[in-house]
Structure formats: structure tokens, C-alpha cells
């Protein structure tokens, strides 16, 4: 979707603000949100990123990073029927009115070890398929001018632009939202390099390039025109 | 929140967020979906154990062991796992080598993709709207704000991390460190150098001064 989250190339956000000695989490609740998002064994329908991307744009801009995570986790739990908005509101009201109410505690040492081991496990996104990649390293390609309404990994700033395939990352699941009932096979993923001048015209900075990963369906062969 | 349109555009205060987080945690514990000690352990792990020191060890090894460097550039995931680093947001790590003619720098314009097993969780600036919007369009200007003024003959190559690949930069080993052993090189390697917003200096002083 052409959402507010698709920020590459936008103007107006000012200088990059940095903080010395920045803590990993700025507030205790951020760490709890991070951990709940990572370990709660309930998949988020449509995906956590989609839940953030469909936030109303002004709300997206004004929400802090972990506020967005909390929003995505809560929406996912409500959408999957694990809890209701009313339940959560009632519990918030309880803690607001009686701040001393203890948060229930539960412990399970074996589960801690299992969760930490799971977090250290990597599951390769590369899939075994019986297909050959359509493009080879060095091939000139053009990004298709796609504007899907749902989640996509194709940012606006590269759409329609010509580039060159520089790396091949095997076949991976397509992350873009599909219409209900539609499944797509894993696709070849490539890193494609773009000259800054193709992306930004006269505003391009000297001797600079941008590389971005492209699923094969984002690309078409580049026809050399007018040469 | 309950499916109706929500027009309250004001971000919650930290007190509101803390309250909602507490409410959510209590419900998830009651429902048996999480345990308190798991949440505690995950927070502790990412506050103390998984951070840029991991990546610094990878870099120092690559600088001192040519065969390891070759493996690292060929298959980053397997090579960092040799040093014990693997897991969430690191399922497919690709290491980008800086050279005298190419400087790599990583961003995620769509969200906040970052190689957790080697760098930990990203700093706030990496997730900021300013960094996400600007780096792809004016990388030299952004790098100058970080204190890194690269000559024009060096190509600035920005990597926008939009798939499940997670990128880490292998910075150049600074001259003047030839006598140093692997252990002594580790503390010179900063987080920002592995994102690509800094270079490593022989005196260990960061080229991006805000960094601790």
C-alpha cells in the first residue's frame, strides 16, 4: 500500500537526532511490549507490519516505535479472538483506578529455556524449488510500476526505475498480501542496484547508489529504448 | 480498536502506554499464553546479551583470519553462527565489505529491519523518520551529519533492507592496527561502523561522536 510508512526519499523530517548512551529500552513498558510481541504464540492475522502500516497516517506519525508494536500486537490478539477490546479496556480501568493491584505472575523455567533457545534458532527464508531464476547477475532490469493496496515490500521510490541485478538470494516466500484464497509460489529474490541519478534525477548525490531486494515479480527485463 | 474507525490521533503518554502494557501482560499471563519469567528473560537477553559486541567479534575475526573472512562474505549466517550468534532477525545475514572504493551503509525505509544476532536491537535514530526518509536520497549529507565526510571517489552504496535478508557492514581495518591481535581489535569496532554510518579508527574514537 502507498502508506505513510513508505518513507524512502521523503522530505521534511529534519536532521537525524541521536542520543548518547542510549538505553536499549527507554521505558520499562517498551521492553515488556518487545518481549510480548516476540514470544506470544499467537500469529498476527495479516502480519504485524501490516497492522502498523494500516494505522491512520497521523496516528502512525505521532506514535512512538514501541507504541506501534503494542498497537499491532493488541490488534492481532483481538483479530484472532484471543482477547476483546472491552476486556483490555476493563483491565486498563482496573489498573488506573487501583494502581496497587498486582499483575498476576506465572513462572515456568523450562519454558524460559525453550523460548530463549527458539530465539537463537534461525530458519532460513530460502526455499527449495524446481525453478530457475529468470534473471542473472549483471542483467539490466526495470521495476514494474505496481501499486498494490495491501502489504508490499516494494517501496514507491524504485517503482518504474531501471537497475542492475547484483546478487541472487535464492527463492523466498512472497511477503506481499494476496487476495483471499490466493497462494503464490516462492520467488527468486535479488539485490538490484540503482544509480542515484535514476532515482533522484538532478538531486542525486555524486557517486552514490542504492541497492534493494526485489522479488522476481517486481521486475521486468529492461528493454533498451531509443538506442 | 474494536473495528470502528479511531480518529484519536494523539499518541499515548508513557503513563498510558505503561498502563496498557500492564493490562495486556496481565491478561496474557491469566490466559496462559505467556509467563512472567519468559518476558523478564527476553528483556534481559536483549538488554545485556545480544548487542553490537557480537558483531564486533565477527569483524575482528574477519580482520585477522582470511579464511574466516572468506566464509563470512560467502555465507554470513553460517559464519556468524560459528561464533555462536544466530536467531531471530538473523535468519539470512549478508555481510557487505567496505573497500577503499566502496562504502556500504544500511537502512530500512519501510520499517526497522536490523540484524539482531550481531547488532542487538536498533538505536532510535535507525528507526527514525529522518534516517528512513533521507539516507536513500542524500546519503552523503546524512553521513556528514554523523561526522563521516567521504571523498567523491568513494562510492556510497546504500542498502535498503526490505526482505528477510539482514545486512551488516564489514568495515575496513584501520591502518595503524597491524600489530593488534583479535582481542584488542574488538573494542575498536563500533555499532555505527557495522551499520555504515561510521568508520573504524585506530584510536578507537568513533567517527560519529554522539555514539557512546
pLDDT tens, residue by residue, A16-31? 999 999 999 999 999 9
A169: CB partners within 8 A, 6+ apart: A126, A189, A190, A191, A213, B92, B94, B163, B165
Cα A43 to Cα A173: distance, rounded to the nearest angstrom? 17
The answer on pLDDT for A184 being more than 50 is yes
Instruction: With beta carbons less than 8 A apart as the criterion, state whether A163 and A192 touch.
Output: yes
Share of chain B above pLDDT 70, in %: 94
A14: CB partners within 8 A, 6+ apart: B130
Shared domain check, B21 and B62: no
Cα B178 to Cα B176: distance, rounded to the nearest angstrom? 6
The answer on pLDDT for B212 being more than 70 is no
Pairing, β A208-215 against β A126-127 = unpaired
pLDDT of residue B206: 77
In a domain, B151, yes or no: yes
Residues 169-198 of chain B whose Cβ lies under 8 A from any Cβ of chain A: none
Shared domain check, B144 and B129: yes
Q: What pLDDT, in 10s, does the model give residues B85-124? A: 999 999 999 999 999 999 999 999 999 999 999 999 999 9
Shared domain check, B57 and B31: no
pLDDT of residue B3: 39
In a domain, B103, yes or no: yes
In a domain, B200, yes or no: no
Cβ–Cβ of A8/B160 closer than 8 Å?
Answer: yes
In a domain, B33, yes or no: yes
Give backbone dihedrals phi and psi of B210, rounded to 5 degrees, phi first. -70, -25
Give backbone dihedrals phi and psi of B117, rounded to 5 degrees, phi first. -60, -30
In a domain, B137, yes or no: yes
Shared domain check, B28 and B119: no
Q: Which of B2, B101, B112, B161 is catalytic?
A: B112
Domain that holds residue B119: 52-195
Q: What is the rounded average pLDDT of the residues B11-25? A: 91
- In chain B, which residues have their Cβ closer than 8 Å to the Cβ of A75? 1
Cα B141 to Cα A177: distance, rounded to the nearest angstrom? 35
Closest by CA position to A66, among listed B130, B34, B42, B20: B20
Shared domain check, B159 and B66: yes
Instruction: With beta carbons less than 8 A apart as the criterion, state whether A186 and A37 touch.
Output: no
Cα A162 to Cα A143: distance, rounded to the nearest angstrom? 6
In a domain, B5, yes or no: no
* CATH number of the domain where residue B80 is located: 3.90.330.10
What's chain B's average pLDDT? 93
Shared domain check, B56 and B26: no
- In chain B, which residues have their Cβ closer than 8 Å to the Cβ of A86? 2
Q: Which CATH architecture has domain A28-119?
A: Orthogonal Bundle (1.10)
Q: How many residues does chain B have?
A: 212
Look at the alpha carbons of B63, B65, B71, B74 in this order and tell me if their dihedral is positive or negative. Answer: positive
In a domain, B96, yes or no: yes
pLDDT of residue A45: 86
Q: Give the dihedral of Cα atoms A195, A199, A204, A205; nearest 10 deg.
A: -50
Q: Which of A61, A106, A208 to mutate to test the interface with B (most CBs of B within 10 A)?
A: A208
Instruction: With beta carbons less than 8 A apart as the criterion, state whether B12 and B21 touch.
Output: no
Examine the predicted complex and report whether its ipTM is higher than 0.90: yes
- In chain A, which residues have their Cβ closer than 8 Å to the Cβ of B42? 34-35, 38-39, 115-116, 119
Shared domain check, B141 and B191: yes
Shared domain check, B180 and B144: yes
Q: What is the rounded average pLDDT of the residues A84-88? A: 97
Closest by CA position to B58, among listed B148, B193, B174: B193
DSSP string, A84-145: -HHHHHHHHHHHHH-TTPPPP----HHHHHHHHHHHT-----EE--S---S--TT-EEEE--
Instruction: With beta carbons less than 8 A apart as the criterion, state whether B24 and A88 touch.
Output: yes
Residues 20-59 of chain A whose Cβ lies under 8 A from any Cβ of chain B: 20-29, 31-36, 38-42, 49, 52, 56, 58-59
Give backbone dihedrals phi and psi of A81, rounded to 5 degrees, phi first. 80, 10
Which sequence spans correspond to the domains of chain A? 28-119, 126-221
In a domain, B144, yes or no: yes
Shared domain check, B122 and B94: yes
Instruction: With cut-offs at 50, 70 and 90, classify the pLDDT of residue A94.
Output: very high
Closest by CA position to B142, among listed B118, B161, B125: B125
The answer on pLDDT for B9 being more than 50 is no
DSSP code of A123? -
Closest by CA position to A170, among listed B164, B160, B78, B105: B164
Q: What angle do CA A142, A147, A150 make, to 5 degrees?
A: 130
- For domain A126-221, the question of CATH label 3.90.1150.10 is answered with no
As a whole number of angstroms, the longest Cα–Cα distance in chain B is 65
Cα B34 to Cα A189: distance, rounded to the nearest angstrom? 35
Q: What pLDDT, in 10s, does the model give residues A120-165? A: 998 899 999 999 999 999 999 999 999 999 999 999 999 999 999 9
pLDDT of residue A57: 97
Classified as helix, coil or strand, A145 is coil
Shared domain check, B93 and B147: yes
pLDDT of residue B6: 43
Q: What pLDDT, in 10s, does the model give residues A195-212? A: 999 999 999 999 999 999
Shared domain check, B186 and B128: yes
In chain B, how many domains are there? 2
Shared domain check, B61 and B22: no
Amino acid at each position: 500500500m502507498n502508506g505513510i510508512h513508505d518513507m524512502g526519499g521523503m522530505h521534511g523530517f529534519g536532521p537525524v537526532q541521536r542520543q548518547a548512551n542510549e538505553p536499549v529500552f527507554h521505558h520499562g513498558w517498551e521492553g515488556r511490549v518487545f518481549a510480548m510481541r516476540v514470544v506470544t504464540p499467537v500469529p498476527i492475522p495479516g502480519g504485524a507490519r501490516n497492522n502498523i502500516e494500516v494505522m491512520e497516517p497521523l496516528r502512525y506519525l505521532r506514535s512512538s516505535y514501541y507504541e506501534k508494536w503494542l498497537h499491532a500486537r493488541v490488534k492481532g490478539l483481538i483479530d484472532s479472538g484471543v482477547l476483546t477490546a472491552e476486556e483490555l479496556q476493563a483491565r486498563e480501568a482496573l489498573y488506573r483506578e487501583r494502581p496497587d493491584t498486582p499483575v498476576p505472575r506465572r513462572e515456568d523455567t523450562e519454558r524460559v529455556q525453550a523460548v530463549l533457545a527458539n530465539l537463537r534458532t534461525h530458519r532460513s527464508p530460502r526455499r527449495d524449488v524446481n525453478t530457475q531464476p529468470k534473471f542473472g547477475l549483471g542483467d539490466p532490469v526495470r521495476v514494474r510500476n505496481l501499486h498494490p493496496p495491501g502489504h508490499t515490500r516494494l517501496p514507491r521510490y524504485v517503482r518504474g526505475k531501471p537497475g542492475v541485478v547484483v546478487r541472487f538470494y535464492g527463492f523466498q516466500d512472497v511477503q506481499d498480501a494476496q487476495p483471499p484464497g490466493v497462494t503464490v509460489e516462492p520467488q527468486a529474490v535479488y539485490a538490484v542496484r540503482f544509480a542515484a541519478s535514476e532515482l533522484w534525477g538532478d538531486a542525486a548525490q555524486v557517486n552514490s547508489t542504492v541497492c534493494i531486494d526485489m522479488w522476481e515479480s517486481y521486475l521486468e527485463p529492461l528493454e533498451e529504448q531509443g538506442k | 480498536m474494536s473495528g470502528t474507525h479511531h480518529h484519536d490521533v494523539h499518541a499515548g503518554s508513557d503513563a498510558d502506554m505503561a498502563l496498557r502494557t500492564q493490562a495486556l501482560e496481565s491478561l496474557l499471563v491469566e490466559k496462559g499464553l505467556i509467563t512472567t519469567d519468559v518476558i523478564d528473560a527476553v528483556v534481559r537477553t536483549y538488554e545485556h546479551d545480544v548487542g553490537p559486541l557480537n558483531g564486533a567479534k565477527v569483524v575482528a575475526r574477519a580482520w585477522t583470519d582470511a579464511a574466516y573472512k572468506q566464509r563470512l562474505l560467502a555465507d554470513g549466517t553460517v559464519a556468524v553462527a560459528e561464533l555462536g550468534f544466530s536467531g531471530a532477525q538473523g535468519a539470512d545475514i549478508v555481510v557487505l565489505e567496505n573497500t577503499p572504493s566502496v562504502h556500504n551503509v544500511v537502512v530500512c525505509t519501510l520499517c526497522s529491519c536490523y540484524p539482531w544476532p550481531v547488532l542487538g536491537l536498533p538505536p532510535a535514530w535507525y528507526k527514525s523518520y529522518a534516517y528512513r526518509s533521507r539516507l536513500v536520497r542524500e546519503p552523503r549529507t546524512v553521513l556528514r551529519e554523523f561526522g563521516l565526510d567521504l571523498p567523491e571517489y568513494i562510492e556510497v552504496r546504500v542498502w535498503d533492507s526490505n526482505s528477510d535478508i539482514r545486512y551488516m557492514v564489514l568495515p575496513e581495518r584501520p591502518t595503524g592496527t597491524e600489530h593488534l591481535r583479535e582481542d584488542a581489535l574488538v573494542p575498536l569496532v563500533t555499532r555505527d561502523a557495522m551499520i555504515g554510518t561510521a568508520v573504524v579508527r585506530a584510536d578507537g574514537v568513533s567517527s560519529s561522536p554522539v555514539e557512546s
